[in-house]
Amino acid sequence: MTKSSLAPLRPAIEVKGLQKRYKDQVVLEEVSLGVKPGEVYALTGPNGAGKTTLIRCMTGLAFPTGGEVTIMGRDVHNDGPRARANLGAVVEAPAKFYPQFSGSQNLSMHAQLAAMAPGTKKISRDRVREVLALLELTRMADRPVGQYSLGQRQRLGVAAAILAEPKVLILDEPTSGLDPLGIGLIHRIVTGLATSGCAVILSTHHLREIATYAHTVGILTGGRMVDSVDLRARQAAYRFRVDDPVAATQILSALPYVKKATTRTPYAIAHLGGESRVPDALSQLTSAGIRVFEASPDHFDLYEYYRERVEQN
């Protein structure tokens, strides 16, 4: 393996100490975050928390009053065209299209504009057809966009954003106004893009959905990033209902693969690093004389966690 392949991935998009004021109103205060290639970052928070303002600053649509945003190492506000050549975004959905032209014509115009950015390659007609099919819009491709439903326009917006195969994708509330199948479609597309190395940031109010596929959730309240929740670490926990939770927690915490163990009577909760460790953890408990009545994943309730965090602030 080469040295560079062992190096930790650098964030594809990085926000450092971002500040935004409108006259004397502070809307964003020292906001920082980083999203690496292949990660999905969900941004959430109450109405008016500053999510859209943060997204507008990250995409270069608004200028911050302090701090900086870089995409693939390039400053979005001082080196805009080259930074945005790596960016696909839908801000203020549904995106604006020419209503008299078809979805396919709108995307072709979008492709021509995208190809004018420095360092970008030409987008083929096949790619236009491919993204229309991906967003399940093939049947509508030759119809004027003026005849599209809200959900279809929203999907066309995502199609335009991913057309040039961006390294960073930013979506402001991509699933609002979509039906359940449309929501599932966006989730599959976002997951697929992340698997192929894209860094994705999306804002959402749908916590229980996002908990199933986001890697990190940033909670913004009153313009401050009050928490950044690593969902992968949280969901690797297992709970054991036992006759002596305190003793069980001590036994579990001494196991070499257990990262953290806590007691939540009647359970001992342990971060095992994967379900393949469950049989060994069970046999360690039983051989120490602990009676185990149940072992199951300890699902992290993002909604409850969010409620507590927001109420504290």
Ligand X SMILES: Nc1ncnc2c1ncn2[C@@H]1O[C@H](COP(=O)(O)OP(=O)(O)OP(=O)(O)O)[C@@H](O)[C@H]1O
Does residue 204 touch ligand X according to CB under 6 A? no
Cβ of residue 158: shortest distance to ligand X, in angstroms?
18
Stretch in the footprint of ligand X (CB under 6 A) among 43-51, 136-144, 234-242, 302-310: 43-51
Of 248, 283, 290, 288, the residue nearest 267 (C-alpha): 248
Q: How far apart are CA 168 and CA 34, in angstroms?
A: 11
Does residue 22 touch ligand X according to CB under 6 A? yes
Contact (CB, 8 A) for 26 and 19: yes
Does residue 137 touch ligand X according to CB under 6 A? no
Cβ of residue 303: shortest distance to ligand X, in angstroms?
16
Cβ of residue 112: shortest distance to ligand X, in angstroms?
31
Given 13, 31, 49, 189, the residue binding ligand X (CB under 6 A): 49
Given 53, 59, 154, 175, the residue binding ligand X (CB under 6 A): 53
Residues 6+ apart with CB under 8 A from 290: 242, 243, 244, 247, 248, 251
The smaller minimum CB distance to ligand X, of residues 203 and 263, is found at 203
Q: Can the peptide bond before residue 266 be classed as cis, meaning omega within 30 degrees of 0?
A: yes
* Total of chain residues touching ligand X, rule CB under 6 A: 10
Residue 31 has which token pair?
Answer: 């906001």
Contact (CB, 8 A) for 30 and 82: no
Given 27, 248, 252, 261, the residue binding ligand X (CB under 6 A): 27
Stretch in the footprint of ligand X (CB under 6 A) among 11-19, 49-57, 122-130, 225-233: 49-57
Stretch in the footprint of ligand X (CB under 6 A) among 51-59, 83-91, 157-165, 288-296: 51-59
Q: How far apart are CA 152 and CA 54, in angstroms?
A: 26
Strand partners of residue 292: 242
The smaller minimum CB distance to ligand X, of residues 132 and 171, is found at 171
Contact (CB, 8 A) for 45 and 217: no
Does residue 47 touch ligand X according to CB under 6 A? yes
Given 50, 60, 64, 67, the residue binding ligand X (CB under 6 A): 50
Of 218, 222, 223, 238, the residue nearest 285 (C-alpha): 238
Residues in contact with ligand X by CB under 6 A are 22, 27, 45, 47-53
